[in-house]
Amino acid sequence: MIQEKINYDEIMALGFTEEISEDKSYYAEHGYEYAIINKDLTKKIYLDWTKETKLCEMVRLDSPKTGNIKARLPIMNLQHLKDLVNFFSNEQEQVFDGSYCA
């Protein structure tokens, strides 16, 4: 299964945050500022969206202190992303569609 691109407005509607970093070299090359766009799900798990590719992945750290990445899971499409956000959210009924796990 191939990952589908997810648009910026759809990411932001799910509560992602954008941290812009001033990097003159990056700006000169790309024409826009470097940005980290992510959403924390737990202390060790977060979602990361890349502006250049419009692809998202879930990242698991071994420890918040070290920040070492232990595992990555590609997010297949917008519905997969919504299911994961819903699963980790305390605000809605947690229903998980296991069809993304092969």
In a domain, 23, yes or no: yes
pTM of the model: 0.82
Distance CA 64, CA 67 (A): 5
Count up the domains in the chain and report the number: 1
Question: What is the residue range of 63's domain?
Answer: 8-91
In a domain, 102, yes or no: no
Instruction: Classify 73 as helix, strand or coil.
Output: strand
What's residue 20's pLDDT? Answer: 94
What mean pLDDT value characterizes the chain? 89
Q: In the predicted model, what is the mean pLDDT of residues 75-92?
A: 89
In a domain, 99, yes or no: no
Q: In the predicted model, what is the mean pLDDT of residues 52-65?
A: 94
What's residue 83's pLDDT? Answer: 94
